[in-house]
Structures are given as structure tokens and as C-alpha cells.
């Protein structure tokens, strides 16, 4: 792959209607660089990836280069009747066509070795084949499928019979098999277990081309990225940080502190300058003319003082005008979760108990007890039934066999992975008011959505912002038991950290189903690991 390969974005701006997502974005990524996009929900990570893929048109700016670009789509462009084998054949089609063309051109050149057209085409196809590692394509297809947990699925299996997670992994596998020169990935770790994430990390780190990705997985960002691009508001606009996500966190905190200090210093200087100009100007203007017999002395002494004062006033005015023109804007107040995740039960007791649960093909569990102040982490591979267990505990799904007991007076709330609202034109403020009624904690005070989004139709919000709204509805009247299904999916890294800090203060029970490795490494509560459902 060419070392000169480069993806370039210049002065990009994009808006949805009257809402400006971002403006003035500059980005360059060269061969071997892997850029991680981070930022609050709504700052434009997914939008920027779509612009780089040429799937959206910017209001201003240009996108150039990148060579052959591959964009990870969340849904496969195949009907449910298509077979898994057909998806893999489609991913390999360009390699097989290039291999066949090279063979045909080789035969032509054996007969006409000086044919300029054949020589030129052979060189171009050979360059493409080498850049895309054509001769390793079939072996790579098997390795990728095995690495992403698809190796045990029959090739003749229709896509409609696969789970959502399996289809997502197949879409990722098809893209990795195709091996474009530039990979654009939006949340590629969703639906991956530990083994699959380890495989993806190693695979991406070995690619010679360009990778630009957005991910909520902090371990993944640390392992893969050579640079972090932060789309959150910052002094001087979006900023690029060299190094891992951990390095970025430290530098971002220091940068925020410098911004706050500079703003405070400039505001203090502005107050002093305005005071100096107003007071000194008044002192100059209210001086009265001297008496006749003192005029000569006045001209000699006071006139010189007045000139000095006038010069100071002029200098202060010039500095004031300059500072008012160039002062940094106030650092935006970051969202801070200000709610309570759970309510307190009247007494410490058993809140939930489950026995001999069976949802065929999705969940098998002999026993589970959850106390009113429990902290429980549910883990397991894809298909083990983590989401199914939470749905059963919440009463959203009845098991075929087994029983769930909920203690009297215990309210259970569930934050699901995929949040949808029946009317996409209603605003967060309207939906929150309808769900909570009078007397609820004001939505704006929870710190889950910025004020500018409260009156925007929910259909125009990002997936993460819709999850924040769903969480706001849940904690407006905190349940005694809160069930969180993959809570770090589709939400910002900052909010994820805030929510789990809030766990320490939550008086009720919290049950979390997650594959987030950062969370699991720091979890100090109880755990239950679900076996793969049969």
C-alpha cells in the first residue's frame, strides 16, 4: 500500500436544519495512522465519518484522498433470504476478479510481451492486488470469520436467521475481508465479546492503511489508536492529540485547566481596564481651570500631569479594545450527571429472586438473588442471554419456564440498549413531562442533555442522546432496582464515567449487563457470568 496514501478534510462544516453540528474541521490521516474520534453525543462523530466516506455532503469544505474507502454500515445491504456464503463471496468478488484479470493479462503478455496497453493495465491491477493483499484473501476470510466468532455458523445459513449481533459482526467481517485502503468505523466493538475485540485490535493495528473510528470502548481506543481527535468544544476548536486515549485524558484535563485560567485572567484584566478607563477619564474631565494668578504654575505642573493621565487613558482604551476583540470565550460548562440513579428501599431485603429460568435458545439460569443495595455485573459472550435476563427481571419478557419474584413495593427500571420513541417529532421536554408528570425533577437540572437539545424533535437526536433521555425518565422517580443493559453503548465516554461514579452514591440495587472491559476491570461488586445458551 502506498506510503503517500492520505485522507484529507479541509474546513468542513455541517448542519441539520438550523442546528450547526460543527464547522471549520480540518483532518489529515496518513498511511499507518489510526485516528479515534471522541466527544459528547451530538458533537458529530458519526456525521464526520459519513462525510469522510462521501455519504453526506458538507455545507462547506472538502474531503479528498483516502483511496479505496470502506465504511462500516450497521445493517448489511442484503435481504434476509441471502446466505452468509453470499455475503463472503461478495466481499471476495473484487479479489477474484483481479486474480482472473491478472491471469488473462499474463497470457496476453506471453503472446505479446511488448503490448503497451496490456503492460500498463497489468501494472495497475498488480499494484491494486499488492495493496489489498490479494493472494492472502481467502485465508484472511477464514481468519476474520473465526476471529469475530462467525466460524461456527453454516455458510448456507440465511441472514434472517442470524441475531442482530451476528449480522453486525458479519458486516464488520465483510469489510475487513475486503481490506480497503481507508477504513471508517462507527462503534465497531458493539456486539463483540472479549476474544473478538482482541482479534479486531490486533487486526487493525497491523493494517498499513488509514483507519478513522469512533468508539465508546476505552480499552479499544488505548490499544488501537495512534491519535485522538476530540470534537468537544475547546480553545481553538476541535483538537488532535497524539498517543493513546489514556494520554489524551491527561492532556485534555490540563488543557481545560489552562483554558479556565486564561478566561479568568482575561476577565479580571477586563474589569480592571474598564474601571481604570472610567475612573481616570472622569478625573481628567472634571478638572476645572485654575485661577488667573495660578495659571502659569498650572501650565507648568498640572499640564504635564494631565498629559500623563491622558496617555494612560489612551493606552488603557487601546488595550481594552484589543482584549475585547481577542478574548477567549467562556469554557462551556460540561454536562454533569446530577441525578440519583436509584431510590432507597424501606429496609435491606431481597428485592428480586429468580429460579430455574429458561428462555429456549436465549437463556438458562438456575438461581439469582438481588438485594435492595446490591451491585451486580452480568457478563457472558454474545448470545449468552444478558439482555434476555434483564428483560425477564424487569417483567418485559416471560420465561418459558421458571419464576421471578419481585418484593412488594420494589420498583424496577430498565435502560434498554436500543431506545425508540413512538413519535419522533415530540421533544425531550414534552416526552419527559408526559412520562413523569408534575413535581418531577426538571429535565434540564439532571445534566443528561444540553439545553439546546431539550426542544429539538427526538428523531433528530443521536442514539446516545435518546438513551440519555430514556435514563432521565427512569431516574426522575428513581426505581429501587435499576437494570442497565450495555450502558456504555452509544453514550459519551464522559457520561459513562459519570454514571459509574454515581453508582457509589446510589442507595438502591443496580444490575449491569456489559461487555465493557474498562468497566469490568474496575468493578468491585458481585458478578454472574452467563454460560452460552444452548
160 phi/psi in degrees, rounded to 5: -65, -15
- Structurally, the chain folds into a number of domains equal to 3
> Predicted confidence band at 309 (pLDDT cuts at 50, 70, 90)?
low
- Report DSSP letters for 361-415, one per residue: TTEEEEEEEEETT-EEEEE--TTS-HHHHHHHHTTSS--SEEEEEE-TT--EEEE
Judge whether residue 289 has pLDDT over 80.
no
Mark whether 395 and 517 lie in a shared domain.
yes
Q: Are residues 144 and 276 in the same domain?
A: no
Identify whether 370 is part of a domain: yes
> What pLDDT was estimated at residue 345?
86
- Determine, yes or no, domain membership for 136: yes
Which whole number is the average pLDDT over 295-303? 55
Residue 280 has pLDDT above 80, yes or no: no
Cα 175 → chain centroid: 21
Residue pair 482/474 in contact by the 8 Å Cβ criterion: yes
pLDDT tens, residue by residue, 83-113: 999 999 999 999 999 999 999 999 999 989 8
Kindly state the percentage of the chain with pLDDT values over 70: 92
Average pLDDT of the residues in 256-280: 83
Mean pLDDT of the chain: 86
Together in a domain, 409 and 524: yes
294 with 409, same domain? no
User: CA 441 to CA 219: how far, in whole Å?
Assistant: 35
Q: pLDDT, tens digit, for every residue of 353-386? A: 999 999 998 899 999 999 999 999 998 877 788 9
Please check whether residue 11 is in contact with residue 24, taking contact to mean a CB–CB distance below 8 angstroms: yes
Q: What is the pLDDT of residue 290?
A: 53
Q: Is residue 403 part of a domain?
A: yes
Q: Clarify whether residues 297 and 376 are in a common domain.
A: no
Cα–Cα distance between 6 and 304 in angstroms, integer?
65
Q: Could you tell me if 256 and 401 lie in one domain?
A: no
506 and 398 belong to one structural domain: yes
Write down the pLDDT at residue 12. 93
CATH number at residue 401: 3.40.50.300
Segments forming the whole domain that contains residue 164: 75-180
Q: pLDDT higher for 44 or 285?
A: 44
Say whether both 461 and 500 belong to one domain: yes
In a domain, 164, yes or no: yes
Residues 522 and 388 both lie in one domain: yes
Amino acid at each position: 500500500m502506498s506510503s503517500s496514501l492520505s485522507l484529507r478534510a479541509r474546513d468542513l462544516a455541517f448542519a441539520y436544519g438550523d442546528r450547526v453540528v460543527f464547522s471549520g474541521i480540518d483532518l489529515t490521516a496518513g498511511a499507518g495512522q489510526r485516528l479515534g474520534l471522541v466527544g459528547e453525543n451530538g458533537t458529530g462523530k458519526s456525521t464526520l465519518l459519513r462525510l469522510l466516506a462521501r455519504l453526506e455532503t458538507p455545507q462547506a469544505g472538502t474531503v479528498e484522498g483516502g483511496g479505496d474507502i470502506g465504511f462500516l454500515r450497521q445493517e448489511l445491504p442484503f435481504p434476509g433470504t441471502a446466505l452468509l456464503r453470499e455475503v463472503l463471496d461478495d466481499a471476495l468478488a473484487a479479489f477474484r476478479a483481479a486474480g482472473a484479470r491478472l491471469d488473462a493479462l499474463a497470457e496476453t503478455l506471453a503472446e505479446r510481451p511488448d503490448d503497451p496497453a496490456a503492460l500498463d493495465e497489468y501494472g495497475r491491477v498488480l499494484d491494486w492486488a499488492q495493496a489489498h493483499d490479494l493472494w492472502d484473501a481467502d485465508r484472511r476470510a477464514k481468519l476474520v470469520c473465526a476471529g469475530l466468532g462467525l466460524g461456527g455458523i453454516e455458510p448456507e445459513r440465511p441472514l434472517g436467521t442470524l441475531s442482530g449481533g451476528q449480522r453486525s459482526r458479519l458486516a464488520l467481517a465483510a469489510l475487513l475481508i475486503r481490506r480497503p485502503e481507508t477504513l471508517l468505523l462507527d462503534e465497531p466493538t458493539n456486539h463483540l465479546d472479549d476474544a473478538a475485540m482482541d482479534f479486531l485490535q490486533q487486526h487493525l493495528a497491523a493494517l498499513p492503511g488509514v483507519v478513522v473510528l469512533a468508539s465508546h470502548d476505552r480499552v479499544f481506543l488505548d490499544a488501537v489508536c495512534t491519535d485522538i481527535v476530540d470534537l468537544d468544544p475547546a480553545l481553538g476548536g476541535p483538537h488532535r492529540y497524539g498517543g493513546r486515549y489514556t494520554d489524551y485524558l491527561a492532556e485534555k484535563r490540563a488543557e481545560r485547566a489552562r483554558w479556565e485560567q486564561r478566561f479568568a485572567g482575561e476577565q479580571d484584566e477586563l474589569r480592571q481596564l474598564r474601571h481604570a478607563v472610567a475612573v481616570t477619564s472622569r478625573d481628567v474631565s472634571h478638572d476645572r481651570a485654575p485661577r488667573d494668578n495660578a495659571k502659569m504654575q498650572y501650565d507648568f505642573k498640572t499640564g504635564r500631569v494631565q498629559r500623563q493621565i491622558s496617555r494612560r487613558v489612551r493606552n488603557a482604551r487601546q488595550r481594552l479594545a484589543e482584549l475585547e476583540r481577542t478574548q477567549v470565550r467562556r469554557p462551556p460548562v460540561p454536562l454533569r450527571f446530577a441525578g440519583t440513579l436509584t431510590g432507597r428501599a424501606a429496609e435491606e431485603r431481597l428485592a428480586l429472586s429468580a429460579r430455574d429460568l429458561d428462555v429456549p435458545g436465549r437463556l438458562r439460569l438456575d438461581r439469582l438473588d438481588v438485594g435492595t443495595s446490591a451491585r451486580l455485573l452480568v457478563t457472558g459472550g454474545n448470545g449468552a442471554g444478558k439482555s434476555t435476563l434483564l428483560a425477564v427481571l424487569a417483567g418485559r419478557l416471560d420465561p418459558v419456564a421458571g419464576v421471578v419474584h419481585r418484593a412488594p413495593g420494589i420498583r424496577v427500571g430498565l435502560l434498554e440498549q436500543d431506545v425508540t420513541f413512538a413519535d419522533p417529532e415530540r421533544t425531550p421536554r414534552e416526552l419527559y413531562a408526559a412520562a413523569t408528570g408534575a413535581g418531577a425533577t426538571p429535565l434540564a437540572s439532571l445534566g443528561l442533555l444540553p439545553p439546546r437539545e431539550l426542544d429539538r424533535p427526538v428523531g433528530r437526536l443521536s442514539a446516545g442522546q435518546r438513551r440519555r433521555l430514556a435514563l432521565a425518565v427512569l431516574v426522575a422517580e428513581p426505581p429501587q432496582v435499576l437494570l442497565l443493559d450495555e450502558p456504555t453503548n452509544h453514550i459519551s465516554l464522559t457520561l459513562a464515567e459519570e454514571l459509574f461514579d454515581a453508582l457509589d452514591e446510589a442507595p438502591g440495587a443496580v444490575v449491569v449487563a456489559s461487555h465493557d472491559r474498562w468497566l469490568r476491570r474496575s468493578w468491585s461488586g458481585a458478578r454472574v457470568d452467563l454460560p452460552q445458551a444452548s
